[in-house]
Amino acid sequence: MTECDERRDATQWGALLSAPLNRRRLMRFAAGAAVAGSAMSMLAACGGDSDEPSSSGGQKTGGPSGSASATPSSGASGSSGSAGDKSTPKPGGRLIIGRSGDSDSLDPQHTIAGISWQVFQHIYDPLIGKTLDLEYEGVLAESWEISEDGKEITFKIRKGIKFHDGTDLTPEAVAFSFNRLIDPATNAPAAAWVTPLQKAEAIDDSTVTMTLSEAFSPFLGNISSAYFGILSPAAVEKYGADFGQHPVGTGPYKFKEWVAGQTITLERNPDYKNFRSIAENKGPAYFDEIVFRNIPEEQTQIASFETGEINMLLTVPPHQVKKLESNPDVQLLPTETATNIYFLEFHTLKPEGEYGFVVKPPFDDLRVRQAVAYAINADEIIKAVLDGRATRNYGPMPTGNYGYNPEIKQYGYDYDPEKAKQLLEEAGWKASGNGPRQKDGQPLQVVLWTSNATTNQRICQVIQNQLNQVGFDVQIEAMEVATLLARLGTPDDTSHFDFMSWGWTEPDLLYMMTDSDSGVGLYRSEEYRKYVTEARRVNDLDERAKLYFEAMKVMLKDVPIVPLWTQNVVVGVRKEIKGIKLDAQGYPIYHDGYFES
């Protein structure tokens, strides 16, 4: 077997498992890509919510192009990637974070929403994490071994760690968490991210073995996310279906209170031990509490931030960045890498068999979907709404992921409203004066869903206008991101398409985003599936990149989504907060953060 200590990558099949995080490869594959910010690179669904910094996993919202850095911008000084001068940390205080929505669940096995990950990443610890150099290191696992064939991974679990409810972290608890995840009765969305995992088994009082059906290159990268955090078995048994409202893990903060639609409050875990190298503080966190406050209206967010009512904005609205740059009371941490992709996804129905692609009318006609792609001027939106803080992306792979290839542009859709009109004519949708196009006496009326974040609504209003100019009648419906995600793919889903974002640092994102129960998650092209499935088995990074490129070509031919851009994220921190920094993937690191006074 090949042994891995906390800071060392595996060899042979271990190299297969760790390959996605090879930093030189990240830089190579991202060469030529414009630099952009992270939108919460976890594969959590953000519902297009621009409130989502990315995490290391797959999120429907929700990767580094080498490395990420952030230089504070404001009248306050600070070291690169951190908020404020280096001074003596002082425990205490309540960090209040403003964001544009509420979580749907704090059970990581019952959600892939990035807006939920924002919270539960503080509650749960995974077995392994990533260093600032994007190498693996132990968190709850002190070491691990990978078999030569890549089908068995053995983790040594740290001793002396307790869950927030006072029970002990044990190998049995680790095995319980992973077996619950893959149990069909749990219906965990993240189970699709570790499909070869067959079982987890506690071997002795410090060892867990995981058995895979085949070698699986994204495995370590995927389980390094809080979506694979370890749960308290006692709490799961106690709360049952309500565990997501009473989460219990081993992380730096404990759950305290959830006022639905308003705030979620976490309190410091006084017994916490930090094993991550990304934070200097090895003991409990400094903040007494972290409060996540729902403020959907962006002007209210900015006003609350400027007055100090909130201390931090996870995403500064792009059109507000220039204003805040001149404010000496705030610090801006711009990310320089991006593992998110923003797009429109069409209302897709579940195919009858294993493969298929069925779309709700009128988008069941490929020409109508293509017309949408040609009718949208994404560059105009990037300039006018996002203030240039995004990179046009013609494919589904984020520009910061190593699988990104700018040559995908030749297979994408440039703005061409005349081509859009031609396709609609060919599809039988005829112009009818100043109103929407008609076919068989019916208008070309479609419903577009988005979250109620102000920037998202502005984006969708521009899209609405652009589509209406070629003959659509687009009706926008905006709602809380948690509500949107809960309704998608259900009988209550009245949309024809929606504005969405996904993020994940691993290019396995292309498999993940097509393996859920709504939208592009139901896109089951056999040809596409062949490529993204094979990429999960391949060791060589160049070969994986080729497979992903072929998969993207298939997707662009079928048009289950209209890719738009990869977006920068700017994190805002009040000057009284010190020590907040961004990791190598552009996510805030809170554990060294503290109030100056």
In tens digits, what is the pLDDT along the chain, a chain of 597 residues?
Answer: 444 443 333 333 343 343 333 322 222 222 222 222 333 333 444 454 444 433 334 454 432 222 333 334 444 333 334 565 567 898 999 999 999 889 999 999 999 888 999 999 999 999 999 888 878 999 999 999 999 999 999 999 999 999 999 999 999 999 999 999 999 999 999 998 999 999 999 999 999 999 999 999 899 989 999 999 999 999 999 999 999 999 999 999 999 999 999 999 999 999 999 999 999 999 999 999 999 999 988 899 999 999 999 999 998 999 999 999 999 999 999 887 788 999 999 999 999 999 999 999 999 999 999 999 999 999 999 999 999 999 999 999 999 888 999 999 999 999 999 999 999 999 999 998 889 999 999 999 999 999 998 899 999 999 999 999 999 999 999 998 889 989 999 999 999 999 999 988 889 999 999 998 899 999 999 999 999 999 999 878 899 999 999 999 999 999 999 999 999 889 999 999 999 998 866 789 999 999 997
> Using omega within 30 degrees of 0 as the cis cutoff, is the peptide bond preceding 296 cis?
no
d(CA 78, CA 97): 20
d(CA 156, CA 276): 16
**Ramachandran category for residue 381: left, alpha or beta (phi over 0 → left; psi -120 to 50 → alpha):** alpha
Contact 251, 122 (CB under 8 A): yes
Q: What are the start and end residues of each CATH 3.40.190.10 domain in the chain?
A: 59-124+241-337+571-595
H/E run at residue 162: none
d(CA 170, CA 494): 46
| Beta partners for residue 435, in sequence order | 432
CB-count exposure of residue 569 (10 Å: 0-12, 13-18, 19+): buried
**Tens digit of each residue's pLDDT (9 = 90 or more) over 120-132:** 999 999 999 988 8
Q: What is the pLDDT of residue 432?
A: 87
d(CA 194, CA 506): 13
Q: What are the start and end residues of each CATH 3.90.76.10 domain in the chain?
A: 2-33+125-235
- Measuring CA to CA, which residue among 386, 379, 557 is closest to residue 466? 379
Contact 106, 486 (CB under 8 A): no
Contact 462, 450 (CB under 8 A): no
Q: What is the pLDDT of residue 16?
A: 38
DSSP string, 309-357: SSSEESS--GGGHHHHHT-TTEEEEE-S---EEEEEEE-EEPPSSSSB-
| Beta partners for residue 253, in sequence order | 268
Burial track 242-259 (b if 16+ CB lie within 10 A, e otherwise) = ebbebbbbbbbbbbeebe
CB-count exposure of residue 455 (10 Å: 0-12, 13-18, 19+): buried
- Tokens representing 26? 């990240």
User: Which CATH architecture is the domain 2-33+125-235 placed in?
Assistant: Alpha-Beta Complex (3.90)
- Tokens representing 540? 């060589």
| Beta partners for residue 500, in sequence order | 343
Within 13 Å, how many C-alpha atoms sit on residue 393's CB side?
Answer: 34
DSSP string, 392-422: E-SSSS-TTSTT--GGGGGGS----HHHHHH
Within 13 Å, how many C-alpha atoms sit on residue 141's CB side?
Answer: 33
* CATH class for the region spanning 59-124+241-337+571-595: alpha beta
| Beta partners for residue 524, in sequence order | 356
